[in-house]
Structure formats: structure tokens, C-alpha cells
Amino acid sequence: MQTIILVRHGYPLSWDQNLKARGTAPHLRLDPALAEIGRRQAALTAAHLAAAGGASVVLSSPFRRCLETADAIAAACQAAVKPDWRLGEVLLSQVLGSPFSPGSAMDPEWLERREGAGKPSHPESDRTIQERVGRLVVELKARAPFAQRVVLVSHEIILKELLKGMTGRMVTVDWHPAAVTTLVRAKPVDRQWRLVGELGAFKHLGGDDRCEPVEQIVHKYHPLDSRS
């Protein structure tokens, strides 16, 4: 059984701060650290995953808020963190603002942590987002040894694309910070993974650590799915 666990990063500092003032360093808005509540969310998620079976490896977006979340999970599961730009934030002007430079807008103190992550797909479009996520899905399907528990820590939009590519279903959900989705497939020949448990689960977070409302989840078959 191969298990893939999708995790959104914890609550970042930038969500509570007005960081658009003149002279503010770009990375404080675009590559923020976790807020105190985000660190608690990461710790609770790490304990939850360790108790549920741990992880063989933790793949993470190279953005600091994801790496900090991944570090907590890896420490609890005694696994290594591997940064991967295919899990990185969407590099669209309407998401990050324009102009955007992946190098200058990242926290310089975390430069070494991003080594080996590959290169960002920039400038980016809807097509390049689908392509980079698609390449990661293909790699996960071919991953050896097969029986692994892989944790992917990323951003909401990328997680939705991963769900679509891995399960063949389009999903509409407001993905809570530090929420967890578990997918499994029994055999290497299986085309898709199936959902186990709740989509975007966050019950492992305490009541004081929940910070966003969650919309009703809607499942739709992907247009390219043979079952549609």
C-alpha cells in the first residue's frame, strides 16, 4: 500500500500583518515564517501524523512557511525533508503581485534550505502549473520502493491540483491551515489514489488553533477521467 499525505502549511505571519508599506522587504510578505498559531498547528499535525504511521520522506514547497511545517513533521516522524519547487507557491502576478522575482522575494536566511529544490517555473500560467504538478504525480506513481508513506507540504492551490491529478476528481474546499488529506493505492498498476478518511481534515487541531471557516466539500469527476 502506498500512502500519500497532503498537508497545507500552517498559519503564516503575513496573514496578520500589513506588509505592503513602502520599504518592506518582499520576503516578509511573500515568504513569511509561521505565526505562533501556525507553529502550534504544525506541532499538532506532526504529532497526529507520527501517531498515524509516520512518514518515510517529507517533500515540501521551498517557501519558508512550508519548510517550517515540514520540519516539525519530519522531526516527529524521524524523516528527512526534501524541498521541491514543483510544490511551490503559484507564481502568478494575481497571486503574488507584479513584478515578482522568485529569488529576491524569498527569505535570504533560508537560501541553503532550498538547495536541491530545482528551479521555479517562472513566469507561470495555468498550463505550467498543471504541467509541473503533473510531472510530480507521474514521479509519485513510479516511486520505488512502492510501500511508502510520503508527506507533501504545499499551498492550497497546488494541493487542489495534486488532488485532481491523483484522484481524477476536482474538489472545491477551503483548505484549512495544517489540514491533512490521506490518499492510498494498493498496487503500482493502479491509475489513481483513493481518499481515506476526511478530505482536508483538521480535527487534530485544538479549538483555539482553528482559524478559517471551511466550506462545503464538492466532488466532481475530472473531465479527463475515464469514469466521467
List the one residue out of 211, 215, 217 whose CA is nearest residue 10.
211
Q: What would the CATH number be for the domain defined by 2-221?
A: 3.40.50.1240
pLDDT at position 214 is 46
Q: Higher confidence at residue 208 or residue 179?
A: 179
Alpha carbon distance 162, 36 (integer Å): 28
Predicted confidence (pLDDT) at residue 223 exceeds the cutoff of 60:
no
| Percent share of the chain, pLDDT over 70 | 83
The least confident of 145-154, 156-165, 200-209, 218-227 is 218-227
Distance of alpha carbon 40 from the chain centroid: 17
H helix runs in 18-125, sequence order = 26-30, 36-51, 64-77, 93-96
DSSP label of 207: G
How confident is residue 18, by pLDDT bands cut at 50, 70 and 90? low
For the CA atoms of the chain, what is the radius of gyration? 17
How confident is residue 28, by pLDDT bands cut at 50, 70 and 90? confident
Grid coordinates belonging to 29: 510578505
List the one residue out of 64, 59, 93 whose CA is nearest residue 77.
59
Q: Higher confidence at residue 119 or residue 184?
A: 184
- For the chain, which residues make up each domain, given as ranges? 2-221
Q: Can you give the pTM of this predicted structure?
A: 0.88
Q: Which residues pair with 82 in a beta bridge?
A: 59
Grid coordinates belonging to 25: 522587504
How confident is residue 215, by pLDDT bands cut at 50, 70 and 90? very low
DSSP H or E stretch at residue 57: strand 57-60
Strands across the sheet containing 57-60: 80-83, 57-60, 149-154, 2-8, 180-185, 194-201
